[in-house]
Structure 1
Amino acid sequence: MSTEDKRRGEDDDESGGPGGAYQTFLIMEELLDKLKLLNYETTFCRQLGFKPFSRHYFALPTNPGEQFFAFTSIAAWLLQMCGQHFEQPQEYDDPNATISSILDEIRRFKYSPDFPPNKLKTGCGEHCVWVLNRLADEALKAKSFVWKKVIYPEEEGNQEDIIDETDEKHLELNKVEDEMLMDDSDEEFEEEGQILGLDDLQKLNKPTTDVNEWKLELERVLPQLKLTIRTDNKILSNICLFAASIL
């Protein structure tokens, strides 16, 4: 652990950048995860009558008296998890003496809390979260807990393979739709054939009139088809006068 991690100054908010105001909330969430790994809910909470802490319990001020007692109690429990002999504080204990004892134990772990002890009297805030987070780290070390390396799942194939598989699925889907349409057409044709019947379809395509009968009928009606031209005497006289005038 670097020297910067072992020190905590009052000017951390000024040098922490724009996200410094939210750093306390992130550390508090990490602290809560570490407490759960230490099974604090079944040991600390049940034995001492505390409710499980919320994810931002020590990051935000809610009830200074209650939070200070919870802070000193969980700090003492973490020190006991580290193998240190540290008695659980009582509500009537001197807060200055309790804070001084906790900071002395922090220094034994080679940490340098460079802030005034009265910063811990509120029982919440970045300095309280920092102290508890460091004690939780030491408690996990004492329990031989080791953080495993994160193993990320391997990606199956590249993006091009995924695109090709998608195109193939679309082609297969289109092929299935075409086959379904062809099946529907065949079914409609079969249904029509069943309704009409094969013999009916052959009768529709086969001519029903005999050639010889057709010729006899034609000879019978042929005289009635002769064209008769009727002449008009008035029209003939006009034609003759017109021809005489020309000559």
Structure 2
Amino acid sequence: MTEISRRTALKHAAGITGAAALGTALLPAAPAAADDRFGKAVEEARRTQRKIRTGEPSANGWEMEKAADSGGAVWTRPVSGTDFGVATRIEGPGTVLVHVIRRFHYEISALEEGDVTGWTHPDAVEAGLAESNLASGTAVSIRPGHYPRGARGGFFPGELTVVRDILAELEGVVRWGGDERTPHEALFFLGVPPGDPRLNKAVGKLERWAYEPEAGAGTHVDVFSPQRRKEARALRERQRSV
């Protein structure tokens, strides 16, 4: 072997040995780096939650939040059949509230951008009243300018029949502000606390209807049928007595 080829061979061997040693040294670092990134992500999520969460419940028992669309439990979701969205609590609460909005839109009066208010900052609602549920993302206010708090009689009889039918269809999971001691007819809010099985039952029904062409919001509903009227009246009496 010549001196040049000998030196070349030695360099090649040294390179292989060095690369192997470097690779061995780096192997433990990869999981450590991943763990570090994960830890930072978790801490960032915790900081976000501390900024958003209040630790205080709204009137129906769901925790109020300080922001929407910011990493918490309240996000803006589209309202199918309209050109706007509404900020509500994710999953079950949002599903039933959007159903209320859609039936109102199809059966009482067509709604536009700006007609519906969802999540509202806790500082802008009165604690202890049903309107505080807006701050937890578990309520919506539909045309609040038409139905101001404290006033009754904002709906025509036929429209009120639809409102009662919507509530009965959801089996009492949603309440109407018009039944409050201080009426707030624009307000519809979740009437069950976190973990109540009635919410999951109502959501399951709505999810099944999504695959049935003759069921759900936007389909023909005979709100004056004797059975539906009976169920609506029974629920009205139960909710008014609470």
- Structure with greater contact order relative to length (CA < 8 Å, sep ≥ 6): 1
Structure possessing the higher radius of gyration over alpha carbons: 1
> TM-score when scaled to structure 2?
0.25
Give the structure with the higher percent helix. Answer: 1
> TM-score when scaled to structure 1?
0.24
Give the structure with the higher percent strand. Answer: 2
